[in-house]
Amino acid sequence: MNRRQAAIAELERRIGHQFHDRELLERALTHASVGEGAVKVRHYERLEFLGDRVLNLLAAERLMAIYTEAREGEMSRLMAALVNYHACARVARAIGLPDALRLSPSASKVGARDSETVLGDACEALIGALYIDGGLDTARAFFLAHWKDNFERLDAPQARDPKTQLQEWAQGRGLPLPSYRVISRVGPDHAPSFTVEVFVEGYEPERAEGRSKQEAEKAAAQVMLLKREGPL
């Protein structure tokens, strides 16, 4: 058993499910960069599309059960804190997904194995694969087990909008409001990735990625807060 095979075996142990369809699992762990070139390789983007929908369903289902009196706006805020690529990346690292990923040498060289966006996408693809291989109950069991920490964060200060927190932080120090600038937009129209830089007077700017401009701005604000104040 080579190193990656051992990582896949450990991944299955941690998620509590052994795949019947091994090709499906391999596809869920294969980054699109592997298909660059003459040989066409099936990668995880279609499974990511499915997994995103399954994840949103499971999160909404659980929120409805826990927050029985919450209004739609509050539910939307809680959903945004639960379903984002940072939350998915945290779960991906906890289950050992980075070592099980199949990447091209060029993607590995530029750090894709530790990219928040790549890990978030791969986690969603894995959820999609779990749904296909084991059904909704299997996907739900994974979600409930591995999103537990994310639910515990919901009532913590960091569950609030990071942009609002950063604005309050700057105002509390008599500084102008933070400003944001889009550095780059890459990827296809159906799955873009934005890099945004946030500026606060007197401090080094910080950058972060997101699937939308707004998500990238929130991520950049969170990075700025963590570096200036430590864990919130």
156 Cβ neighbours under 8 A, 6+ residues apart:
232
Q: Look at the chain and report how many structural domains it folds into.
A: 2
pLDDT at residue 179, rounded to an integer? 95
Domain with 54, as residue range(s), is 3-155
Mark whether 124 and 173 lie in a shared domain: no
Mark whether 97 and 174 lie in a shared domain: no
Mark whether 15 and 99 lie in a shared domain: yes
- The rounded distance, in Å, linking the Cα atoms of 199 and 180 is 6
Binding-site residue ranges: 48, 121, 124
Mark whether 141 and 167 lie in a shared domain: no
> Of 127, 155, 183, at which residue does a domain stop?
155
| Whether residue 124 lies in the annotated active site | yes
- The rounded distance, in Å, linking the Cα atoms of 48 and 122 is 7
191 Cβ neighbours under 8 A, 6+ residues apart:
45, 211
Mark whether 99 and 145 lie in a shared domain: yes
- Three-class secondary structure of residue 200 per DSSP: coil
Mark whether 193 and 121 lie in a shared domain: no
For residues 168 and 42, the answer to whether their CB atoms sit within 8 Å is no
pLDDT at residue 155, rounded to an integer? 63
Mark whether 127 and 218 lie in a shared domain: no
For residues 43 and 159, the answer to whether their CB atoms sit within 8 Å is no
| Whether residue 189 lies in the annotated active site | no
- The rounded distance, in Å, linking the Cα atoms of 77 and 120 is 19
Catalytic choice (52, 116, 215, 217): 52
pLDDT at residue 39, rounded to an integer? 62
The one-digit pLDDT tens for each residue of the chain (232 residues) are 688 999 999 999 999 999 999 999 999 999 888 876 556 778 899 999 999 999 999 999 999 999 888 888 778 878 888 888 888 999 999 999 999 999 888 888 888 888 888 899 999 999 999 999 999 999 999 999 999 888 887 765 444 678 888 888 888 788 898 999 999 998 887 778 899 999 999 999 998 888 888 888 988 898 888 776 544 3
pLDDT at residue 158, rounded to an integer? 47
- What is the CATH classification number for the domain harbouring 89? 1.10.1520.10
> Of 155, 182, 208, at which residue does a domain stop?
155
Mark whether 129 and 48 lie in a shared domain: yes
In the DSSP assignment, the letter for residue 102 is B
Mark whether 148 and 81 lie in a shared domain: yes
Binding-site residue ranges for Mg(2+): 48, 121, 124
pLDDT at residue 191, rounded to an integer? 78
Catalytic choice (26, 124, 133, 209): 124
